[in-house]
């Protein structure tokens, strides 16, 4: 079912807010069989809202209006729906009770601004908002179903998963739920993966739609079928994909390198330490963003200066002088030093040239050495990622976590990604 979005808010028009709600709506509704065919975005302006409602309600069976349900004067969605449907606003008993409960839970008395949120067009029905004070609005206009939800992302999300989603599904039983499988991948790009799939599987079934969403650092691969009869075909394609990806498959849906690594460490009751130079603490920061990381991560060292690599990680000054800080020898010594300085049983150490300065012909900006493994089986390898400083740090952080992941999985092959095109390691 093709539907329309009407986004409203001056902050969107001024560029003060990037609209991430649209993407959230599209992602949450696609599996239920609803696609966004057209989106109109206007400021907090009643004439603009009315013109857009007029236009979209004539062309689409559903219009989702997002924003403009807050307590302030420039929140005009209820008023626009009232004018558009020629239904006066009236105080809704259920909405009033909702606002009062919400205020009571926060120990405050409902003021006029809060109470404004309980006035809905006469013929409208309330859509529950389990998170915030603003209830949603459901209204029929001719053949069009108008649904309004607040712009606060957490509220919108819980409503899409709750009553707003139910309204849609109930109103359009013909919408065919899509069965989507999402796999997350590191170490191969979209075009190369697509090419390899084509080369190997000329018989890819038409019923299984392949999609990609490129992120930093993970690539998401979507496998989608329109109905349950095609699930076996999707499973077949998933098998092909898993086989082709091998160790480049990180996980499903919401998995990240950090969550997968923390899970593996927990399962194996192991503890990791980190010795970071060019990533400057980002690897530790990613790991500790996972709730419960404290059981698997005790200590990290951000050793930027050579003197600190010597003092804290006991890296031999002669090694530094002979090979430079960005070298196999030094990164292995950093790894050993971090293990010595902690009780962890595995480690990742990293030293590289983030730039913009500090590169040379032999070791250009983007060159990085990583060492990883356990106390008695450390490995090291060079990688190459010539990119802006922040992007370099993000990719190198991902490589470090991925090497740890592969080590914990007992992988025997070294990954071939992010190599200098002009030389083999």
Residues in the site for its own copies, rule: CB under 8 A?
A: 12-20, 22-27, 30, 35-43, 48, 52, 55, 211-213, 274, 276, 278-285, 287-289, 291, 293-294, 297-305, 307-308, 311-312, 341-343, 354-357, 389-390, 393
Element (H, E) at 141: strand 136-141
CB 83 within 8 A of CB 46: yes
As measured in angstroms, the least distance from the Cβ of 189 to its own copies is 15
Under 8 Å between Cβ of 121 and 85: yes
Read off φ and ψ for residue 416, nearest 5 degrees: -100, 10
- Beta carbon of residue 247, minimum distance to its own copies (angstroms, whole number): 25
Q: Taking the CB of residue 143, how many other CB atoms lie within 10 A of it?
A: 9
Beta bridge partners of 210: 223
Least separation, in Å, of the C-beta of 252 and its own copies?
A: 17
Q: How far is the CB of 401 from its own copies (least distance, A)?
A: 13
Nearer to its own copies, 97 or 289 (CB): 289
Q: In terms of CB distance, is 16 or 361 closer to its own copies?
A: 16
Q: How far is the CB of 178 from its own copies (least distance, A)?
A: 11
- Euclidean distance between CA atoms 40 and 20, whole angstroms: 14
Nearer to its own copies, 93 or 305 (CB): 305
User: Which long-range contacts does 169-176 make (Cβ < 8 Å, 24+ apart)?
Assistant: 169/32, 171/62, 171/145, 172/1, 172/33, 172/34, 172/61, 172/62, 174/1, 175/1, 175/32, 175/33, 175/34, 176/33, 176/226, 176/227
Measured from the CB atom, the residue of 158 and 342 that comes closer to its own copies is: 342
Instruction: Give whichever of 10 and 236 is closer to its own copies, judged by the CB atom.
Output: 10
CA separation for the pair 204, 211 (Å, rounded): 13
Nearest approach in angstroms of CB 84 to its own copies is: 17
The C-alpha angle 383, 262, 391, rounded to 5 degrees, equals 35
DSSP 131: S
Tell me phi and psi for residue 154, to 5 degrees: -65, -35
Based on CB atoms, which residue is closest to its own copies, 96 or 299? 299
The strand ranges marked E within 82-121 are: 89-91, 119-121
Residue closer to its own copies by CB (options 280, 374) is: 280
Least Å distance between CB 80 and its own copies? 15
Q: Which is nearer to its own copies, 175 or 308 (CB)?
A: 308
Please, what is the minimum distance in Å from the beta carbon of residue 6 to its own copies?
A: 11
């Amino acid at each position: 079912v093709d539907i329309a979005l009407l986004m409203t808010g001056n902050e969107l028009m001024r560029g003060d807010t990037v609209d991430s709600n649209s993407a959230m709506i599209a992602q949450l509704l696609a599996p239920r069989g609803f696609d966004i065919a057209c989106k109109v975005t206007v400021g907090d302006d009643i004439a603009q809202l009315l013109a857009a409602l007029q236009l979209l309600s004539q062309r689409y069976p559903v219009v989702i209006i997002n924003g403009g349900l807050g307590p302030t004067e420039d929140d005009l969605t209820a008023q626009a729906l009232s004018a558009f449907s020629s239904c006066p606003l009236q105080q809704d008993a259920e909405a009033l009770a909702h606002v009062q409960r919400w205020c009571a839970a926060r120990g405050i008395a409902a003021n006029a601004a809060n109470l404004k949120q309980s006035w809905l067009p006469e013929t409208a029905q309330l859509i529950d908002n389990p998170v915030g004070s603003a209830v949603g609005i459901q209204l029929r206009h001719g053949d069009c179903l108008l649904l309004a939800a607040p712009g606060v992302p957490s509220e919108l999300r819980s409503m899409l998963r709750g009553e707003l989603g139910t309204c849609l599904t109930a109103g359009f039983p013909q919408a065919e739920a899509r069965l989507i499988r999402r796999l997350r991948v590191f170490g191969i790009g979209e075009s190369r993966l697509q090419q390899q799939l084509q080369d190997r599987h000329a018989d890819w079934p038409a019923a299984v739609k392949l999609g990609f969403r490129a992120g930093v650092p993970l690539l998401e691969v979507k496998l989608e079928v329109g109905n349950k009869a095609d699930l076996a075909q999707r499973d077949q394609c998933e098998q092909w994909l898993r086989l082709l990806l091998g160790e480049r498959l990180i996980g499903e849906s919401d998995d990240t390198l950090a969550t997968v690594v923390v899970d593996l460490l927990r399962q194996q009751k192991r503890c990791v330490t980190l010795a970071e130079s060019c990533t400057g603490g980002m690897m530790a920061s990613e790991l500790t963003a996972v709730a419960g990381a404290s059981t698997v991560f005790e200590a990290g060292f951000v050793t930027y200066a050579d003197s600190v690599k010597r003092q804290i990680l006991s890296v031999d000054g002669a090694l530094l002088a002979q090979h430079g800080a960005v070298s196999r020898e030094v990164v292995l010594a950093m790894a050993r030093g971090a293990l010595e300085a902690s009780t962890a049983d595995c480690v990742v150490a990293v030293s590289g040239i983030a730039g913009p300065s500090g590169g040379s012909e032999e070791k250009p900006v983007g060159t990085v050495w990583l060492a990883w493994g356990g106390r008695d089986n450390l490995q090291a390898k060079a990688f190459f990622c010539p990119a802006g400083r922040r992007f370099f740090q993000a990719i190198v952080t991902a490589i470090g976590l991925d090497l740890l992941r592969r080590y914990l999985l007992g992988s025997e092959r070294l990954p071939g990604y992010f190599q200098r095109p002009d030389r083999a390691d």
